[in-house]
């Protein structure tokens, strides 16, 4: 089955996008019209800001502390109840945020722009290495310290030493050829990151890049989002142009209605556990990094990433390791390896479709408990 003419038109716009890393700056400087005292979370909006998954609430509390809006758990709940702090879906504001990370206006973020249309998408700077990163939903003090370091100087140093517009597609193509699937395994792509910045980058900023060994994931997320957005606004098109989970619901938007969320109950990822977390329960799909898989990377590219793929074989359908994994995607991209199909069309018949995810412990105390694949809701 082929996609509809409208969806093919969206796909043509999608593959015509020329994404480049263009700026690093505080979120408020990159997102015009950002509502006052608003925090941005992954996935579709929550019906009730007081009814949040615990890892998301922990990240809201950490963001409130970072912004100076509230300190104690009770004061955070009061702020949400009174509306003095508001929550919004990041993708409704052109932002994509990983796992349970909640973004505030002062936090440094990166911008990827489509050089063809000048459309931009934004993602927060990676919040550092395991085990205390705030994206893991524990609200750890060590994670807050990393975030404060970015805001207090490292972010500005990275901004000042960025090498102008950095084309991203060549980095992705090279990485796919070297064993990355661009979501769970990013080793080859991460190896290119230091070259995004000039040789005069200060020591503390260079040290941050060395420790934040998934810095490039946030670049890939913003790149995926800007490519998908290029296909939006085509009447009748079924191309998916946004995707994310909030720990309760999985949501996505279509090119024919790019302002409307379609939601379903989010599935829990299945996969291996880290030592000591064998009995821990993962939070259902969380994070806007689902955009990476909705492009056609991540779980659909496991057959190109044998190092990661081997660790998941006992947990997921064998079709993830064959061409069937790309059945729901529209077609190739001229800048990427021929076998990689891009542009998700959920009307196409398929046997497997999933999202490569770090598993976040449901209680908000465990942090990362493993890695797996969350099935796309049916």
* Res. 217: pLDDT tops 80: yes
| pLDDT, tens digit, 9 for 90 and up, residues 315-334 | 999 999 999 999 999 999 99
| Measured distance CA(222)–CA(293) in Å, rounded | 13
Evaluate whether 120 touches 19 at the Cβ level (below 8 Å).
no
Evaluate whether 162 touches 197 at the Cβ level (below 8 Å).
yes
Q: Which domains does the chain have, with CATH numbers?
A: 19-224 (3.90.1710.10), 232-375 (3.90.1700.10)
* Res. 76: pLDDT tops 80: yes
- The distance in angstroms from the start CA to the end CA of the chain is 19
What is the per-residue pLDDT for 260?
98
Q: Buried b vs exposed e over 15-26: b needs ≥16 C-beta within 10 Å?
A: bebbbbbbbbbb
- How confident is residue 21, by pLDDT bands cut at 50, 70 and 90? very high
What is the per-residue pLDDT for 373?
98
Q: What residues have CB less than 8 Å from 77, skipping those under 6 apart? A: 50
Q: What residues have CB less than 8 Å from 126, skipping those under 6 apart? A: 98, 212, 214, 215, 217, 218
What is the per-residue pLDDT for 164?
85
- How confident is residue 1, by pLDDT bands cut at 50, 70 and 90? confident
The CA angle 31-335-374, to the nearest 5 degrees, is: 65
Evaluate whether 125 touches 218 at the Cβ level (below 8 Å).
yes
How large is the average pLDDT for residues 249-266? 98
User: What are the helix and strand counts (H, E) for the chain?
Assistant: 12, 15
Residue labelled with tokens 């408990």 = 369
* Res. 155: pLDDT tops 90: yes
- CA 335, chain centre distance (Å): 21
- What does the mean pLDDT of the chain come to? 97
């Amino acid at each position: 089955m082929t996609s509809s003419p409208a969806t093919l038109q969206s796909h043509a716009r999608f593959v015509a996008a020329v994404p480049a890393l263009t700026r690093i700056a505080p979120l408020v400087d990159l997102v015009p019209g950002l509502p006052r005292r608003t925090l941005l979370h992954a996935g579709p909006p929550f019906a009730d800001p007081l009814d949040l998954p615990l890892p998301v609430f922990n990240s809201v509390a950490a963001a409130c502390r970072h912004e100076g809006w509230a300190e104690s758990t009770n004061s955070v709940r009061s702020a949400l109840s009174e509306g003095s702090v508001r929550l919004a879906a990041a993708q409704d504001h052109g932002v994509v945020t990983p796992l349970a990370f909640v973004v505030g206006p002062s936090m440094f973020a990166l911008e990827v722009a489509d050089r063809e249309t000048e459309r931009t998408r934004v993602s927060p700077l990676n919040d550092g290495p395991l085990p205390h990163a705030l994206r893991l939903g524990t609200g750890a003090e060590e994670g807050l310290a990393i975030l404060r370091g970015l805001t207090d100087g490292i972010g500005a140093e990275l901004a000042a030493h960025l090498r102008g517009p950095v084309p991203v597609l060549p980095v992705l193509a090279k990485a796919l050829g070297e064993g990355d699937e661009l979501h769970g395994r990013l080793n080859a792509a991460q190896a290119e990151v230091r070259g995004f910045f000039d040789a005069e980058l200060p020591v503390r900023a260079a040290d941050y890049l060395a420790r934040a060994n998934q810095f490039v994931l946030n670049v890939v997320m913003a790149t995926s989002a800007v490519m998908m957005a290029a296909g939006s606004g085509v009447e009748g098109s079924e191309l998916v142009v946004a995707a994310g989970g909030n720990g309760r619901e999985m949501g996505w938007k279509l090119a024919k209605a790019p302002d409307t969320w379609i939601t379903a109950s989010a599935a829990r990822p299945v996969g291996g556990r880290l030592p000591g977390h064998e009995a821990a329960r993962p939070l259902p799909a969380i994070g806007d990094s689902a955009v990476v898989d909705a492009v056609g990377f991540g779980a659909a590219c496991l057959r190109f990433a044998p190092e990661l793929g081997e660790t998941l074989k006992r947990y997921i359908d064998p079709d993830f390791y064959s061409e069937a994994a790309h059945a729901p995607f529209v077609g190739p991209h001229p800048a990427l390896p021929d076998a990689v199909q891009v542009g998700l069309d959920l009307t196409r018949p398929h046997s497997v479709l999933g999202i490569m995810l770090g598993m976040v412990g449901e209680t908000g105390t465990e942090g990362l408990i493993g890695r797996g694949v969350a099935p796309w809701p049916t």
